[in-house]
Structure 1
């Protein structure tokens, strides 16, 4: 079955690929070709961030300047080195510009404050987090998992209104954000608990259930429409912003493509994502898992 990366696959076509004896070889060759494609873009602002933030890891997430999230305080100065650029990236969805924002889990007072500023300015209503139990750095967390508790970051107070733990693979936290003037924003955080190690993929059934729940919440008629006229982006974060978060985006786009057109081209999807997010989905295991998750979806959600 030769390379199929230049065309979209129907449900039947994807099933035939995944059930073939050389599926792993074909998908691995696709990924190798993707990694060989040079992506154009500058990284000036996020290199400044990496230099200023000495609490982050030695290998920080870098963002292309053309897709990097810029907070209002940053645009208010002629010298952004006096501010602190946030390492977060806009990701284009299926027929939806800036459908997602992906970022590294905030792990310092500065990055947490910027994280909540970003949520507030974009009127975000959904946060998806992939968090290992050992990922908390120095005990710092951007939210409190206890119902009725609250934390203050800069001018924003984050209250944990309710925790819903009715699903075996994720919990939903209802968060209420209040600014210094009393204005509020209601946010749903979905915390996926079944991807404990980056190099070990989760059960695809749980992952698809998370995706479908996020889609359900995203269709709810809650306020969030940005000033530019599009629905507020879903914010997705993980330990580096490059792997689990981007697997989520790639698979979510693939599911939308299947549902809307009956076809999917993961090679094309990931190729476009790598133009938005620097060095994302560099692991062949993550790329293979995208295929496995979509295959599970078309197998068990035939009428979706």
Structure 2
């Protein structure tokens, strides 16, 4: 059973929860119940491929077998990638969430994943220390190119017209000169993972991602679903999954006038092992949804 306040809420219901004197207490209790739920899944691929290390950090970032992204295999390469399919609002596999690639092998697999899914949208949450000691999967200089495996990554254009995020248009080419244009959104207002960003700027990011995603045509994948957008952060568990949760919640409100974040997060944890384990991230989801409701965004 969920808590008595974990029911579906209308717009007014969300506002009353946020403004109520016991709102924080209710959200904390909801999150505690979600964390106590038994989520079933196996991690055979992570273990058998040797990608499971002995550190606690690696153990916390495992991918469920039932939702992990499987890349095509190539002789002499490790095709395992720490990435999971995430179901959206009435849309299976709407997102892929993953960790920020930081080595030659992980970057090659990252771009291979983008290419095989014909992904058009990447949402990036970077901490201030990310990619300082490692290597980056793209070059921020217009006209520059990088080669990873069989794919060449060209920085085609950079759009700096918002104070909270940067949009980079990347041109991907394979060995046969087939091309794929990708829009990467680099959110710059959440560099300290334990300090939540301004909700207004987060909603601005989500709004613009939707605009570009709709205009991109959303190519259809081989499985018959629209190609997923890729969302990544340092651990693939917190900021990336907050984005998915809020995006799903806003879709629910826009289409039905109601939202149930308790249910949304519970389902997300069935797709992504150990995600949204911090209560402040859960509370931020509510706050961002409240901000969307208050300012009557249409996205």
Give the TM-score taking structure 1 as reference length.
Answer: 0.93
Number of equivalent positions: 297
Q: Distance in 1 between matches of 2:115 and 2:232?
A: 16
Seen in structure 2, the aligned counterparts of structure 1 residues 53 and 140 have a Cα distance that, compared at 3 Å, is farther
Verify: 1:103 aligned to 2:98, yes or no.
yes
Match of 2:152 in 1: 157
Shift of 1:228: 1.7
Q: Distance in 2 between matches of 1:207 and 1:187?
A: 21
Q: How does 1:74-89 map to 2 (within 5 A)?
A: 83-89=78-84
Match of 1:187 among 152, 173, 182: 182
Residue 187 of structure 1: SS of its match in structure 2? strand
Verify: 1:210 aligned to 2:210, yes or no.
no
Q: Distance in 1 between matches of 2:109 and 2:168?
A: 20
Asked if the contact 1:107–1:140 (Cα under 8 Å) also holds between the matched residues in 2, the reply is: yes
Shift of 1:147: 0.3
Shift of 1:139: 3.7
* Cα-to-partner distance string for 1:85-137 (whole Å, 9 max, x where unaligned): 11100000000000000000001000000000000000000000001221115
Q: Distance in 2 between matches of 1:91 and 1:49?
A: 22
Verify: 1:13 aligned to 2:13, yes or no.
yes
Shift of 1:82: 7.0
Q: Distance in 1 between matches of 2:101 and 2:48?
A: 17
Match of 1:119 in 2: 114
Shift of 1:227: 1.4
Asked if the contact 1:151–1:157 (Cα under 8 Å) also holds between the matched residues in 2, the reply is: yes
Residue 246 of structure 2: SS of its match in structure 1? helix
For structure 1, the 5+ residue unaligned runs are: none
Residue 232 of structure 2: SS of its match in structure 1? strand
Residue 73 of structure 1: SS of its match in structure 2? coil
Shift of 1:277: 0.2
For structure 2, the 5+ residue unaligned runs are: none
Match of 1:232 in 2: 227
Shift of 1:217: 1.1
Residue 146 of structure 1: SS of its match in structure 2? coil
* Cα-to-partner distance string for 1:227-276 (whole Å, 9 max, x where unaligned): 12221101000000000000000000000000000000000000000000
Shift of 1:223: 5.7
Q: Distance in 1 between matches of 2:9 and 2:259?
A: 5
Residue 219 of structure 1: SS of its match in structure 2? helix
Q: Distance in 1 between matches of 2:83 and 2:183?
A: 19
Verify: 1:41 aligned to 2:41, yes or no.
yes
Asked if the contact 1:3–1:30 (Cα under 8 Å) also holds between the matched residues in 2, the reply is: no
Q: Distance in 2 between matches of 1:127 and 1:86?
A: 16
